[in-house]
Every structure is written in C-alpha cells, then in structure tokens.
Structure 1
Amino acid sequence: MLGCLVLGWVPVSMGSLTSSSSAFSSSSTSSATTRVSASSFGDPTMYEAFWREAGERAAAVIPGWWGMSYFSNAGGLCWYLEPELEREVRRVHRLVGNAMADGYHLVVGTGTTQLFQAAMYALAPTSTDRPVGVVSPAPYYSTDLLLSGYYRWAGDANAFHGDHGGENIELVVSPNNPDGAIREAVLSSDSGKGKAIHDLVYYWPQYTPITSPAAHDIMLFTMSKLSGHGGTRLGWALVKDSDVAKKMVYFVYGSTIGVSKDSQLRAAKILGVVSDAYEPGPGDGTQLRLFDFARRRTGERWRALHAAVAATGTFSLPDEITGYCNFTKQTVAAYPAFAWLRCYKDGVEDCAEFLRGHGIVARGGEQFGGDARCVRVNMMDRDAVFNVLIQRLSSIT
C-alpha cells in the first residue's frame, strides 16, 4: 500500500502526527469540561461515532498517481468535477427526495462558503457602479464573508426596501440557521429583479421532515451537514441555468482552480456508503444507516435539552416543528442542528454573557441580527461535550 493514503472516519482534530497511531486516535474526552465552549461553533463531530463503527467500508484508498491533473472532464461544464462524485450526489438526492437533481447542473465547491460567493458573483449585475444588496430574514447566519465590489450585505430581508431599482439577492436558508425555521423567499422575484440562493444544507431527514423535493434555481448542500465530514471541505450546488452555473465554475476556478480531487473521492465514497445502506443490494442486512443513527442521536439530545430547559425555568426554545416525511414514511419532529435558546431571567439582557458566567460559550443572538437575549447552541458536538453542556445548563436557576 506504499504511496496510498487511506481515509475513513478521520477525526477533525487529529492532534500530533508523530506516529500513525496517534494521527488516527480519538481526541481525548477528558477535556470536555473545557471544550464546552465548542458548543458555540458548528463542528459536526457527533457523527464520528457512526463512521468509527462503519470502519473500512467507508475508507477511500487514493493511489499516489491518481488525480494529478487539474481536470476531471475537460469538456464538461464543471470541468474539475469527478464523475464518481457526480454520480453519488445525484443518487443520494434521488434516494432521499429532498431536491430535484435531474436536469440540474452540478457545481462543486470548497464547502458552501465558497459556493455562496460563487452564486452571488454569478447573480450580481455587472452593469452598475454600486454593489447589489444581499439580504436574509433575521435571525440569519453570519455575513462576515460578504466582501466584494459586486454585492454587499443589506440586512434583514423583512426590512429591505431595495436599491438599484429594486434589485437584490436573497439568501434563503431552510431549515434556517440558527433557529431551525422552515423558510421561503420573502422578497418577490416576479419582476425578475429579485434573485434567490437557497441554502438547503440542513434539508436532510435527520434534521427535518422531507416534505417534497426542492426545485429552486440555485440549491446549496454540503458534506459537513449531511454526513459530518466538515474537514473534507466539500459542498455542491444544483443550478438550473447553465449560464449561472458557468459563472459559478469560473469563480471557483479564479479562487482555487477547482476543488481537491482527494476530497471529491472521499466524499463520493462516503455518499456511496450512505446510499448503499438504504437500497436493495447484496449486503447482509447489517449495514449502518446514517440517517437512522443521526435521528436517534439528535432526538435524544433534543429531549435532554428540553428537559434541562424545563428544569431551569429560565430559558425557552422555539415550538417544535412536525410533518410527514416522504423519506421515512411517517410523521416526525424536526431536530435542528442548532438550538435557538432564549433567556427570560430578570435582569439578563445578554444571554451569551450570562451563560459565559456558567461555563457555557454560545454565539449571541445579535450576531444573527436577532435579540441579545437569544443564543445559538450547537447540538452536534461529541457526546462528552454535549453532556457537559446539559449538566451546566441544568444547574442554572
């Protein structure tokens, strides 16, 4: 196996690389009491337990000679897209039924962070001397990366009055980060001046009922939210219009000259393992099922969080969302990847600061265009960290 790199469940934090065994060892859970601050981020390490159990069936072997060219399909629209990845992306969408993949162009990026930029670049008008406004209903996800002469952050979509004759780009995140709400575009696109980018990275059955296949003009997805592989840094866009897709590819070319083929091969392998477990085949019937695992784990965590919140009498959570899921064929509750926690304690105006005093670091609501009495809490960390979070939260009175 000389000259090959073997990748499977590799931990996000690999620590020292002084030996092969230490490189792939689990991060110590003894530091969970100090790492509870990670609850303010979106590191999806909850999935590590699943991929450890999956073992070699999820390993991707990469020969040293493979993938040396910049090109994967020189004649294709997305010329750096590996055929194996395209096949598995379209397959998993057909399996789950969360998005129309057939008839759409597939554009791959280094996570949805790059794809957001690529989509805004593709949609922004070039015939103006001012950047187009980019909006999203509050509470909205971070907008720190909106740095361009083509577009600028213009705030809450609900309060947007338009400029450039009403032109705008709306970011529609559904389920929403940070509060898990199901959303549609707020601003009208009837005039052709309003354009939307749909961030559907949490529209998977472990987080929310799959009610219908989405069929928007631009739809973004990422490995970190589907399978937990944040370190793979790979996302994709399903794009209806070929000209928009070409501009997005041009942006990716200009910023990173494509996307790592190693990441694409690993993502294709992971997606294949996910789909194989739900489709008839020659398996022995013992395949691990990712969506089942994640729904069980997130359900347990949300029940624990609701119990902790009820015990304190100090906090509240959004109302639970339920619906019929076409994938599971049953009515299910939504289990968002983040909790939007509101503090009602007298005298507390800044919930993030209040929680910090109890050893919990969370992102304050004002960072999302919301109320400072709210915070976003990550539900997807390792068990040890999440358990400490629940213990500390339960102790608050």
Structure 2
Amino acid sequence: MVGFEYAKKSDNASNKNNVLSDAAVINLDHGDPTVFEEYWGKMGDRCTVEIKGWDLMSYFSDANNVCWFMEPGLEDAIRGLHAAVGNAATDERYIVVGTGSTQLCQAAVHALSSIRGSHPVSVLAAAPYYSTYVEETTYLRSEMYKWEGDARSFDKEGPYIELVTSPNNPDGTIREAVVNKPDGKVIYDFAYYWPHYTPITYCPDHDIMLFTFSKISGHAGSRIGWALVKDKEVAKKMVEYIMVNSIGVGKESQMRAAKILNVLTETCRSETESFFEYGREKMKTRWEKLREVVKQSDHIFTLPKYPEAFCNFSGKLMETYPAFAWVGCKEENDLGSLLMKQKVLTRAGNRCGSDKKHVRVSMLCRDDVFSLFLHRLASLATDSLL
C-alpha cells in the first residue's frame, strides 16, 4: 500500500533512529493511531502480559455466557472503564466482543436485518459518513440488507437501520439519529466518545453501542472491539455471525486489551499519569497547530468549529479535538488530488457522501509525519493551482 514506507522503517516506539524523508509519501487516509506510542513507552512493563504455552488453548472462555468466546477478565475491564469514564451504560447489557468494531458493525447489521419482516432492509447514515460503512454493507452483496446512502434524503417506507457515529467520523460533530421512523433501528458507533477527543456530556443508554480498543488507547494491532447490547436475541445473533465469520476472537488479544483497559481505569484519575489527560493535550496541540496553518492560508482552507461543553469526566469546560480533521477548500477544487501532488494521501470527501472540496485527514499519525503534513499544507496554500 502506498504511503507505508515510514511505517515499515519504524514499527515501534523504541526505534528512535529513523528519519522521515522530506520526499516521502505520507498516508493520512487511514487512521493508524500511532500518536500515543510515547505514552505507552513510558509505562514500561506495566502493561506486559505473559502467556504460557499451555494457556488459552480452548475455543471456549465461558460456555454459560452469551458471548462464549469472551474472556471474563475482558468483560470486567470493559465494564470498569465505562464506569470510571461515564461514557456508556453497561448495566443490564450483554457485551459482545469482536475483531474490532468493523466486524461488530457487520454483525449488528446482520442481526437486526435477520429479525426484520421483509428484505432487503435499508442501511443508511447521515453524510458525511464513515466511508467504510458503504464497504461493510455492500461487499458481501447480501440479500438481507442494502446500502441506501445519506439518511437525510431517505424517504422509503419499511424497515431500516441507521448508523450513527458520534463524535462523527469524518467531521467530528456530535450526532443523533436523523430518520426517527417507527420501523427503524439505530446502531450507535461511539469509537471516539472518549475524553481525550471530546467532552463527556452524558452517559448514552442506547440499544446497541459500539466501541473499539484501537481508538481509545491506540492499540489497533490487537483488533479488539465490543458492543453493548440490550436485547439478548440481538446479542445472540451477533455472536452467531462472529462464530461463522471467525469462530470467536483471539484470546491473546483479549488478555492484552484487558490488561491495558485496567491500567486506563487505574490511571484515569491520576494527575501525573492519566492517559486521557495526556491524549487530550496531545490532540489539543495538534489542532492548535493545524488551525494556525489554516488561518495563515488566507482562508483558502476551512475547518469545522466545535463548541465548548462541560465534561462530566474532567469536571471542566472542554473543546473537541477529533481524531480526524475535515479539511475543506473554499474554491471549486479537488482537494484530495491537490494534496496528492504534495505527496499527502487523504480520504476524499465524496467517499464519505460529501464532495471533493473536502478531505478527511488523520490526526493520529506520528509527530514527524504530522509536522511534514502541516508544512505541505502550508505550501499548498501558496500554490498557483489555488
């Protein structure tokens, strides 16, 4: 894949000797969360997990649990972290663990559509939406559901499933369901509803809520996500989908995730080692630098503005610092193509149900990559093409 030259050179936080070439292609299309490597490097062996050769050999973790392949320690860690942060209700919920929230979203769409009376069930999301939703709902060409695009223009009758990402990917806005018809179901994707990205203003209590380990702590390689599900039958059908798809989820990843989630819970109230405080300051600094470049571009580029809100977790007013920047161009230009000429790969806005004047830019890369991006964005502002 284009743009992974640097990632191959520097695959972990301990590799300090690699220098990113000024001529390198940088890939800010994906959301690889390497921004938090420094924090975890300072934690030393606190998150180390030892697994013996005879451990974790069975498919089963708890045969009496609806999600029979979920390690009990992971379930406890998930409930404990949500309780500490206050960003999701977990009481009287079934937890379904998956290989990231991507698999869980597919499982939830399958589960909800399989219990509807007629097919195909419409699947939709308000634009700009997470582009992978389109791929997730069209790749298998299922007869049970069909991607219908922008929720704001949806006018069909019959059952539907609305996907709501809040804070939204790609534009960072707080979202609620748009359609609100009696025959609909809603899946809430809360991948970024954590205090280093946005104020925690309430504790969501929806029927299906998705979370992912990768966007909380940055451990994307572990491929762990979870769903909080009210309805037992929906949870069972989601588990059934995952069983057919991958026969469960790797226990080694679950153990690592449980260990790190417990550390997050232990440190989230610490004044000296809180990950969420560290992450918030990291994201704040990046957004301040990006806004300064946009300001100096003589208003050629645009960024969304986010209101301050009181965060129940931190106990103070906070701004939103999304994981992705929704960068616009005031002229009628294909911003993605212009950035590509500067060797910056981004996700084009038309892939998110919007237009080519906008691009989604990952704010989660390493420091040197981010600095090079700012330099190239500033250079583009003076390009004659604009």
| TM-score, reference length from structure 1 | 0.89
1:126-164: CA deviations, max 9, x gaps?
A: 5666421100000001211213221111100000112xx
Q: Is the 8 A contact 2:36 2:217 kept in 1?
A: yes
Mapping of residues 155-194 of structure 1, within 5 Å = 155-162=149-156, 165-189=157-181, 191=182, 193-194=183-184
Tell me if 1:339 matches 2:325.
yes
Number of equivalences: 370
Tell me if 1:225 matches 2:210.
no
1:333-366: CA deviations, max 9, x gaps?
A: 0000000000124xx4211011112232211100
1:34-89: CA deviations, max 9, x gaps?
A: 55522121000001111111110011111111110000001111100101100000
1:100-150: CA deviations, max 9, x gaps?
A: 011111000000110001000110045666421100000001211213221
For 1:267 and 1:153, locate their aligned partners in 2 and report how far apart those are by CA, in whole Å: 32
Mapping of residues 226-245 of structure 1, within 5 Å = 226-245=216-235
Q: Is the 8 A contact 2:34 2:365 kept in 1?
A: yes
For 1:23 and 1:358, locate their aligned partners in 2 and report how far apart those are by CA, in whole Å: 26
> Does the residue aligned with 1:371 lie in a helix, a strand or coil?
coil
Stretch moving more, 354-363 or 304-313: 354-363
Mapping of residues 1-397 of structure 1, within 5 Å = 25-26=14-15, 29-31=18-20, 33=22, 37-125=26-114, 130-142=119-131, 143-146=134-137, 147=140, 148-162=142-156, 165-189=157-181, 191=182, 193-278=183-268, 288-313=273-298, 314-345=300-331, 348-395=332-379, 396-397=381-382
Gaps of 5+ in 2: 1-5
The verdict on how the C-alpha distance between 1:34 and 1:112 changes in structure 2, with shifts beyond 3 A counting, is farther
For 1:13 and 1:65, locate their aligned partners in 2 and report how far apart those are by CA, in whole Å: 33
The verdict on how the C-alpha distance between 1:220 and 1:139 changes in structure 2, with shifts beyond 3 A counting, is same
> Does the residue aligned with 1:375 lie in a helix, a strand or coil?
strand
Q: Is the 8 A contact 1:58 1:273 kept in 2?
A: yes
In the TM superposition, residue 27 of structure 1 has moved relative to its aligned partner by: 7.4
Q: CA RMSD in A?
A: 2.0
The verdict on how the C-alpha distance between 1:358 and 1:122 changes in structure 2, with shifts beyond 3 A counting, is same
For 2:120 and 2:21, locate their aligned partners in 1 and report how far apart those are by CA, in whole Å: 44
For 2:116 and 2:310, locate their aligned partners in 1 and report how far apart those are by CA, in whole Å: 45
In the TM superposition, residue 15 of structure 1 has moved relative to its aligned partner by: 6.5
Gaps of 5+ in 1: 1-11, 17-21, 280-284
